[in-house]
């Protein structure tokens, strides 16, 4: 675990890119496996590579959002707009602020990049993606922001994989390659 912490502290951008590239792409693949109920290669190798690039890019954006929204809540508290908060209250405040502001943009950006990769114009169920900010991401990131900083991005990448599995399970009837 010490090696992981050192890597995350020494190479914050590279480490976040690697974590999200691996786990986010696996989440996309697992989602397709869950939808179809079988293990198969859902994407051509070129698409997998493009999805990996997408996740690497999104990882950088997410890393900056994590840092920015934690600083935002610090300033809001320092200015007296929020009271001093315990660990849970602070984590919940960061999660709500980040997901209700940045999260909406991220859902749209993620879908846009997915559409670009698949060469489609699919905005179907984008509302469900936005709704996941409330039922999944706010609780998940509340837990995430309760951890020490070196572990936060790693858990966020794991949550991406978890959400892929959940969405794949609940979209079993919607199979598309």
pLDDT at residue number 171? 83
> Could you tell me the sign of the dihedral formed by the alpha carbons of 137, 142, 145, 147, in that order?
negative
What residues contact residue 17 under an 8 Å CB cut-off, 6+ apart? 56, 59, 60
CA gap 109, 119 in Å, rounded: 15
pLDDT value for 173: 59
- What local confidence, expressed as pLDDT, does residue 172 receive? 81
What CA–CA distance (Å, rounded) separates 58 from 17?
8
Dist. CA 131–CA 10, nearest whole Å: 35
DSSP at 119: T
pLDDT of residue 65: 98
Coil/strand/helix, residue 5: helix
- pLDDT, averaged per 10 consecutive residues of the chain (177 residues), comes to 96 98 97 92 96 98 98 98 98 98 97 97 94 97 98 97 91 60
């Amino acid at each position: 675990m010490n090696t992981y912490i050192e890597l995350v502290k020494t190479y914050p951008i590279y480490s976040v890119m690697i974590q999200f590239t691996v786990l986010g792409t696996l989440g996309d693949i697992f989602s397709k496996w869950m939808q179809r109920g079988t293990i198969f290669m859902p994407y051509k190798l070129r698409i997998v590579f493009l999805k990996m690039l997408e996740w690497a890019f999104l990882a950088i954006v997410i890393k900056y959002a994590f840092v920015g929204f934690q600083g935002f809540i610090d300033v809001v508290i320092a200015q007296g707009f929020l009271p001093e908060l315990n660990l849970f209250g602070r984590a919940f405040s960061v999660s709500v602020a980040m997901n209700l502001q940045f999260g909406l943009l991220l859902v749209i950006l993620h879908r846009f990049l997915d559409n670009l990769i698949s060469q489609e114009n699919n905005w179907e169920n984008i509302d469900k993606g936005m709704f996941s900010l409330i039922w999944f991401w706010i609780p998940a990131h509340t837990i995430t922001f309760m951890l020490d900083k070196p572990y936060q991005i790693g858990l966020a990448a794991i949550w991406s994989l978890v959400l892929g599995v959940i969405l794949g399970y609940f979209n079993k009837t919607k199979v598309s390659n």
